[in-house]
Structure 1
Amino acid sequence: EAVAEFALADGDKAVAVFAYCNLHGLWKTVL
């Protein structure tokens, strides 16, 4: 299982996550 953690500054908001796989290309998930 792949896991990633990101730190956000106060007031910042995550809106999407992007990941690139050399087998499947670019993936995007809107939060």
Structure 2
Amino acid sequence: MAQDYFKADPITILIVILILQQIGGGVLSGFDY
């Protein structure tokens, strides 16, 4: 099911990344997006 996210448009991917950042908190803050 993860492949469905890669098939989505860039805007949807950015939204998913932002959600993951909120969930992960300081963990994902070390990565550059």
Higher helix share: 2
TM-score by length of 2: 0.23
Higher strand share: 1
Q: Which has the larger radius of gyration?
A: 1
Higher relative contact order (CA 8 A, sep 6+): 1
TM-score by length of 1: 0.23
